[in-house]
Structure 1
Amino acid sequence: MQKKLIKVHPSDNVAVALVDLQQGETVTLDGEELTIQSTTQAKHKVALSAFQEGDSIIMYGVLVGKSGEAIGKGQVLTTANVKHDTAKVTQKTGSFEWTPPKVDHWKDKTFMGYHRADGQVGTQNVWLFFPLVFCENRNIELLKEVFEKELLNKKEDKYRLLLRSLIHTNGEQDVLVKEPKQGRVFENVDVRFISHQGGCGGIRQDSESLARLLAGYLNNPNVVGATVLSLGCQNLQIQIFKDALASINPDFQKPLLIYEQQKMGTVDDMLSTVIRESYEAIAAANEIERKPAPLSKLSIGLECGGSDGFSGISANPTLGHTSDILVALGGKAVLSEFPELCGVEQELTNRCVDDEQAGKFLSLMQAFEKSAINAGSGFDMNPSPGNIKDGLITDAMKSAGAAKKGGTSPIVDVLDYGEYISKPGLTLLCTPGNDVESTTAMAGSGVNIILFTTGLGTPTGNPVVPVIKVSSNRELAERMPDIIDIDTGAIIRGEKTIEEMAEQLMGLIIDVASGRIQTKAMELDQNDFIPWKRGVSL
């Protein structure tokens, strides 16, 4: 029989409704009966004791809010009776010990990856096209059309064919006028294109930040080489980009083609040269083949988006245990989205391996929050309407569940946006909570797989890193099967444990990393890229 309520942490004074609860219904939790005082939808929180105005609300063992008015025992928590609040953190206050999970049966496992000269191993083999400035976006789009149609043979787009059928049949028949299917010219290399709105017009620091991000994409183990377009007069000069690349990898050895339009004359002259030389480089990249690599060569990004009230008790803890398994094997894991770590700073600070990392984490958090306040906002405004509708009514409540993606291992490093991961273990990376800005940043910091949990459904993908979408509940997986790769709803129903779901996810990660399975985002050709613009336009 499925449980109706769950108390996440022993010290919590609220519980999560696992099913819809009716007013007057009596529910048993931990051997005690609780009468539900107001109709409560699944995923929302119920008070386990009476609150007076200003009382602390504890969930996941941390402060997630204050009562804004008196709340009766058994009453549902809402935005009307709860206010955002968090504990103040100034320093590391305790030591930390970690007991890794048992990973004996994973130690000899391998994945089939692309080995790079610097020791990194890719899960994809991508030739990347990108501009240094938005002025080159049109040329990138022209190249994309040419290469995708002729090199990847992406000719049979069902939506274009549907429109063609409507044109040719006057909308009377749903018959597609089909083109003959053709295979790819090169089977062992993918060609991807990214564009952006940066590189000039803003503060110089934003261009420098973009340079580091793009350099990180080129250094990412999933990228085999790149074609880069520059206009010539922009803030993000070619040398700034090269300097950023050298700071990440002084011994960079991948093929890199850079073209400056203002030195090459007409668009036709430039694009003809770009196409010829890029084709030759892509043909050479196609000769690289997958070879076995230990799981320690995996670097996973941990992301959540479109979260619901179940995310923090099913999907996110599954990622957390998966992260612990990989860290125990010598791999890397990255937890980002700093606005969604608000309220759990003390736990994360205490997990840092030394005072230097703890101090950097708190400094980045405080600077980020200050910038939000200066802009007339704040971390308390982070939950979206969808989050709130599905039970995440304060930022701290959302954050406490989001932090579960990071598991329980020590934090070995703390990075600012644009810095590149280098240490085995769990790393914190400063990014916004925005899904795409965060996944964009993690790919630029070197992850080769992204695990993305969602309770409401989001189609986010990435141009160079496979994104595995993890559902927090069965209803979403059944409603949107075209975007969900694995469903952890069995945890909510009591059919599987978090550890069992993590083991299943590990198997899927190996298959995706080896190229045996394409993620749903890859099938949808969902290649999202949004750099974080921290400054103003000038």
Structure 2
Amino acid sequence: MNNTTLLLDPTDNVGVALSDLQPGQKVVLNDIELEIQDFVSAKHKFAMRDFKPGEDILMYGTIVGEATQAISKGYPITLANIHHKTREYTLNPGKFSWTPPNISDWEKKTFMGYRRSDNQIGTANYWLVLPLVFCENTNVKLLQEAFENALGFSNPNPYEIQIKNLISDFQHEKITETVPQKTKNNQPRIFENLDGIRFLTHDMGCGGTRQDAESLCTLLAGYINHPNVAGATVLSLGCQNAQASILMEKLSLIQKGEPKTVILCDQQQEGTTEQLIQKAITETFKGLIEANKIARQPFPLNKLVIGLECGGSDGFSGISANPTLGRVSDLIVALGGAAILSEFPELCGAEQNLINRCKNEDLANKFVHLMETYNAAAKRVGSGFDMNPSPGNIKDGLLTDAIKSCGAAKKGGTAPVSDILDYTEYLKTPGLNLLCTPGNDVESTTGLAGSGANIILFTTGLGTPTGNPICPVIKVATNHKLTNRMTDIIDFNSGTVITGEDSIESCGNRLLDLIIQVASGEIKTKAEQNRNYDFIPWKRGVSL
């Protein structure tokens, strides 16, 4: 890779600017010499030949757009001269041959995790407190404040003193306090083997469709069944659509080992708020004692289940960070582990490649059915998949959903597709799985954890603080500028691929080393340090 331009596939007819290109600058790609005719900013694309209106724009070896007007060789590709278009796909997986990567350097490596009775392995050990309905959010927050302060899991707020100083200034008093650096609570931990208590809140459970209530219960069952969760305390009002009986039924369908402890507290049965909270505290504390008896021990890397996510993407995402995740995904799959690729709106244009990789026709049919049903539902409310790119995506070079999607699909590497999961379906099969979620960062990461990912890899070119309550989220930057500008949210820099310091293979190898450290509890992700515990279930229905 040179440091100015790139051709992603020999069949492409547009090139990518790796740095700003000036008018008159000479470029040679794939034996084609051209002169840049107008300024092309880094991450954007330029025409490798003359285009007539209606001709296809090719990137990643496939159709990602269509010329809407004549474009001369050397001119930038913009939304003024192209629009979204994808190649038609056929439902014929055919024979797919995969050459796995060399895993000899990784076969004997281990991470320190927590074994559950069903042989799932956790990368953390949490107790979970969650509401079945939004009416219980306040009570969840009461429990959160009480437990975190008492058990040493709370962090001081570094901005509180800043506000106090502003009050002092407003009242014309002398400012005596300074803003401290963000530090961990120095209070000793009561439970050494417990990584924390996680508290979920949401705006669902009643008032919506019965389907959304059932979907919520299935999602919450996935969180309770998650390998990073030792047990759960569930708050219910009592009269809501999302009944405790539905939750327990959904949990019974996916639990394989000894049932986890689930403490149910129903406010309409308990009486006063005080009685509800006292019961929840007493029973939860007993659960924490049991959860603390589990200690970390070594496990092979085939016990890792990595979720593959992107957000705040840019024109480098499909060149550096996403292929780096693809390398890690291929390594994990080759080792016998599992990878889960999400965000179906961001696979639009990459369908044929994924269909070809499905292990059988039934999987291909399920993938296409979920894609087409989802897209049709979006179109009914005036927003098809083609409207997925955000203003930030477009500004940084992802002009069409197909351009964005073909880069996003790189997170899934090259391995065969072993299973297709609808939203809230729990992982059943090792290998590469495709999970139907929205492109919305938090809704998607929420779904990945609910389907059993015990580590989430999250690429970003623009920067986003997204995290998850129960699953470590490793943030992978696509470029040096972002890494240096937002040091508080970035865990790993793949910008070394853009500058030529790393190959995709070496960058992926370094990332897998970091994953092992995070999975072992040796390194806390920036999202964990910043308490980015984001949880948003996907609503598919209407509100009633």
TM interval, short-chain normalised? over 0.9
SS in 2 for 1:106: coil
Match of 1:63 in 2: 63
Cα deviation, residue 150, structure 1: 1.3
Cα deviation, residue 522, structure 1: 0.5
Q: Contact conserved, 1:166 with 1:174, CA < 8 A, in 2? A: no
Give TM-score scaled by structure 2 length: 0.97
Paired amino acid for 1:228:
V
Distance 1:177 1:376, change over 3 A: closer
Q: Aligned pair 1:248/2:250, yes or no? A: no
The C-alpha deviation readout for 1:370-392, integer Å capped at 9, x for no partner, is: 00000111111100000000000
Aligned with 2:211 (options 190, 193, 205): 205
Q: Aligned pair 1:441/2:443, yes or no? A: no
Specify every segment of 5 or more residues in structure 1 that has no aligned partner in the other structure, as ranges. Answer: none
- Alignment partners' CA distance in 2, 1:132 and 1:494: 50
Cα deviation, residue 30, structure 1: 3.2
Q: Aligned pair 1:19/2:19, yes or no? A: yes
- Alignment partners' CA distance in 2, 1:93 and 1:193: 43
Match of 1:184 in 2: 189
Match of 1:326 in 2: 332
Paired amino acid for 1:240:
I
- Alignment partners' CA distance in 1, 2:179 and 2:221: 43
Identity %: 56
Distance 1:4 1:153, change over 3 A: closer
Q: Contact conserved, 1:164 with 1:176, CA < 8 A, in 2? A: no
The C-alpha deviation readout for 1:51-70, integer Å capped at 9, x for no partner, is: 10000111001110100101
Match of 1:76 in 2: 76
Match of 1:481 in 2: 487
Number of paired residues?
538
Cα deviation, residue 250, structure 1: 5.2
In the TM superposition, what are the counterparts of 1:309-348 in structure 2 within 5 Å? 309-348=315-354
- Alignment partners' CA distance in 1, 2:155 and 2:526: 20
Q: Aligned pair 1:492/2:492, yes or no? A: no
Cα deviation, residue 166, structure 1: 4.0
Q: Contact conserved, 1:114 with 1:121, CA < 8 A, in 2? A: yes
Give TM-score scaled by structure 1 length: 0.98
SS in 2 for 1:370: helix
In the TM superposition, what are the counterparts of 1:276-291 in structure 2 within 5 Å? 276-291=282-297
SS in 2 for 1:105: coil
Match of 1:407 in 2: 413
- Alignment partners' CA distance in 1, 2:330 and 2:256: 31
Paired amino acid for 1:371:
A
Cα deviation, residue 252, structure 1: 4.7
Paired amino acid for 1:332:
A
- Alignment partners' CA distance in 2, 1:168 and 1:19: 48
Match of 1:472 in 2: 478
Specify every segment of 5 or more residues in structure 2 that has no aligned partner in the other structure, as ranges. Answer: none
Cα deviation, residue 273, structure 1: 1.1
Paired amino acid for 1:146:
A
In the TM superposition, what are the counterparts of 1:34-433 in structure 2 within 5 Å? 34-154=34-154, 156-167=156-167, 170=171, 173=175, 175-176=177-178, 181-189=186-194, 190-249=196-255, 251-433=257-439
Cα deviation, residue 2, structure 1: 4.4
* More divergent stretch after superposition (490-499 vs 28-37): 28-37
Q: Contact conserved, 1:156 with 1:181, CA < 8 A, in 2? A: no
Q: Contact conserved, 2:23 with 2:38, CA < 8 A, in 1? A: yes
Q: Contact conserved, 2:152 with 2:186, CA < 8 A, in 1? A: no
The C-alpha deviation readout for 1:160-196, integer Å capped at 9, x for no partner, is: 2332344456575372488994222223211110100
- Alignment partners' CA distance in 2, 1:342 and 1:506: 28
- Alignment partners' CA distance in 1, 2:228 and 2:401: 34
SS in 1 for 2:105: helix
Cα RMSD after superposing both structures: 1.5
Cα deviation, residue 153, structure 1: 4.8
Q: Contact conserved, 1:63 with 1:85, CA < 8 A, in 2? A: yes
The C-alpha deviation readout for 1:356-407, integer Å capped at 9, x for no partner, is: 0000000000000000000111111100000000000000000000000000
SS in 2 for 1:357: helix
- Alignment partners' CA distance in 1, 2:70 and 2:447: 42
- Alignment partners' CA distance in 2, 1:168 and 1:26: 61
Match of 1:452 in 2: 458
